[in-house]
Structure 1
Amino acid sequence: MTVLSGRSAHAVQSDDPFPISIDHAFGTTIIPARPQRVVTLGWGGEDALLALGIKPVAMPRYGQFPDGVLPWVREAIGPARPALVSQGLIDYEALLLLKPDLILAVRTNINAQAWHRLQRIAPTVAFRSGPLQADWKEITELAGVANGVSEQARDLIYATEQRLCDLSDVNPIIRGRSFVFGDYFPGSNALGFYLPTDGRVASLLDLGLAVAPGVADIAASTSERIGTSISLELLDMMETDLLILWFPPGARQELENNELFRRYSPVVRGGYIPLDDPLSMWVACNPSVLSIPYGFPQFVERLADAASRAGRREL
């Protein structure tokens, strides 16, 4: 981890009085004064901060990019060079050296024990929804409240919602189309797919798409909250107009060579959208107030092209 010295740069003034109390899954966090050194853990926290005019002193490293920084974050952060922290195990000693006065850990899978340990370093705001379930709206709202700019965060959420509506208006062919959004890993005999409670799915629903009936049925009958999987032998049971899959390196060709996958209805009809490059994968998997304006126009265009090719499945 590279450590950056210096204060978080604020381009905004607080519109909420401190101290601020924030309720979340593990209790209540009290933030005594406007934060000056914010650390973000998990996905999307740095996006929300930067859109609010706040530069974090540390944020996650994204290993698929040479400098470890997402392109839209690189564009927004300018010459600042925050420390980059691992997205794996939390390095508590390294975080302590950063001397944060706020830790945002909203789209993470931390548990109560980890939260209490982080809380001993600095006031820590966790998710309200559940582990890895927070969507871009929850992340932006909590980032705004924690930094005393809740009204600005609400305005940002509204503007981003409007942008999604505009994209839907420009591409009406996607409205009402059913979709499965998932992944495939090398050597697997199943597709993973995300449930409606996952933040990746929420942004597609905002565009007017509809969760495939099979996904909705499974969501109603499982205790899983993020995603589950389906055997390649049973793919025909998961009827859908569009199939959106992201792949780690080397996995796409393996799946596309599988005869069971090649016979799957959305693949045959042209409704398959593969995401195997880092940019398209992270745009779709990490929707935020920065990534949506940066990459969703191209992503939605791909969805519309696939919907045009595939038509509507027969009910």
Structure 2
Amino acid sequence: MKQSEPQKGTSMVDLSPRPARPFSRRLFLSGSAAGALTLGMAACGSSDTPTPATGASGAPTSGAAGAGFPLTIEGAEGKAIIPSQPGRVLTVGFMRDVDEAVSLGVVPIAITPQTNFDSGLAPWVEAKLGGAKAPQQIEVEDNLPFEKITELAPDLILATDSYTLADDFANLTAIAPTLSYQDDVAEDTWQTRAKRIGAALGKADAAEKAIADVESGIAAAKDRNKAALEGKTFTFSLLNAEGELATVVLPTDASARFLSQLGLKLSDQVTSLPQAGPAGRAVVAKENTKLLDADVVLFSFRSEDERKQVEGDRLFQALPAVKRGAYVALEVGEALSLAFPSTLSIPFALEKIVPKVVAAATKA
């Protein structure tokens, strides 16, 4: 089950190059995909259990009456002309197309699996589905199975989170209206993605509410944790495919931007490092591990072996932040909730990760 994976990494500005098509989803957080470190925290949007795909209201450019349909939505790869409210929605994006559809109460008829998770679905999606039937998962090799997608007869394809859409758009739009990202798959904010999907599904108002709820949650988290987080520095790192330390160096990176919304600041020790590999990341030589020190040190691991490798190193153990317990270790699933913020993944990050960050910051 292989499909091209994101190396641009985040929904909120990460400028790494696009991957070659055979790059496996399960390898997303390895190698140059180290760029996918971003911390998104906020409160939940809609809490209703999703129902099978139906429903939506307009936004970008709409035509006649009804629920805002027919509707035309412009995108970087082309326009989606949606004649009527979709009833059979299919997603081919990495993660966030599924997130936003399910967040709005729409269960796609089929999805390309979220293969970093054993079930093919992120835990925040499973939680939202509740007792609703999960969408069918389409097996993917080096290319999307266009014949299979045709057989499923979708009337809307969501692809705002597809890292191969430039190659696939013509084939997909020949099957059904296909929703592209607005500017770039890695540069569209989670708010932009949610609004576009909400419009395409005829659920523009629900999307606006979900966005408002999440943004309110961010503000509430900042206010609630101001004493612990305000002005504290952080670094956020992982091991790349070569087993080297890779760390976020751009304040405009999604992780840095999100944490800054909570009052934290990316450490000056890393912002001055030269970028290497994915844009916005630097490789730190083992002997320079001390550069990763900050009030809070975050590290993401794909496996227990990786965690043992890093935590067992004497230079890492010598970091003042590690010594005083101001260190946060994240599993790959947690890291993905940060790397790809959506109206579903952000509440998950708020619940699972923010308390760890706050606990670490109190030891600074």
Q: Give the structure-2-normalised TM-score.
A: 0.72
Instruction: Please state how far the C-alpha of 1:224 moved relative to its aligned partner.
Output: 5.0
Give the counterpart letter for 1:14 in structure 2.
Answer: S
Report the Cα offset of residue 169 of structure 1: 1.9
Q: Per residue, is there more helix in 1 or in 2?
A: 1
Alignment of 1:252-291 (within 5 A): 252-276=307-331, 278=333, 280-291=334-345
Q: Select which of 151, 156, 169 maps to 1:102.
A: 156
Contact 2:293 2:320 in 1 (8 A): yes
2:315 and 2:283 map into 1 onto residues whose CA distance is: 15
Number of residue pairs the alignment of both structures matches: 302
Q: Does 1:241 pair with 2:292?
A: no
Give me the whole-angstrom Cα distance separating, in 2, the residues matched to 1:52 and 1:150. Answer: 9
Q: Which amino acid aligns with 1:95?
A: I
Give the match's secondary structure for 1:188.
Answer: coil
Contact 1:37-1:102 within 8 A present in 2 as well = yes
Mapping of residues 79-90 of structure 1, within 5 Å: 79-85=132-138, 89=142, 90=144
CA distance in 1: counterparts of 2:98 and 2:311, whole angstroms: 35
Q: Decide whether aligned partners of structure 1 residues 205 and 104 sit closer, same or farther in structure 2, where only a CA change above 3 A counts.
A: farther
- Residue 149, structure 1, aligned to residue 149, structure 2: no
8 Å Cα contact 1:196/1:202 also seen in 2: yes
Equivalent residue, structure 1, for 2:40:
none
Q: How does 1:53-202 map to 2 (within 5 A)?
A: 53-77=105-129, 78-85=131-138, 89=142, 90-172=144-226, 173-185=228-240, 188-193=243-248, 195-202=250-257
| 2:91 maps to 1:36 | no
The 2-side partners of 1:133 and 1:182 are apart by 21
CA distance in 1, matches of 2:215, 2:346: 10
1:47 matched to which residue of 2? 99
Aligned sequence identity (%): 27
Conserved 8 A contact 2:72-2:79: yes
Task: Answer whether contact 1:134 1:198 (CA < 8 A) is retained.
Answer: no
Q: Which has the higher contact order (CA 8 A, sep 6+)?
A: 2
Larger mean Cα displacement after TM superposition, 297-306 or 178-187: 178-187
Shift of 1:167: 1.9
Q: Which runs of 5+ in 1 are unaligned?
A: 2-6
Alignment of 1:14 onto 2:57? yes
**Structure 2: 5+ residue runs without aligned partners?**
2-50, 59-66
Once residues 215 and 20 of structure 1 are traced to their aligned partners in structure 2, the CA distance between those partners, rounded to angstroms, is: 46
Describe how 1:294-309 pairs up with structure 2 within 5 A: 294-309=348-363
The amino acid across from 1:285 in the alignment is A
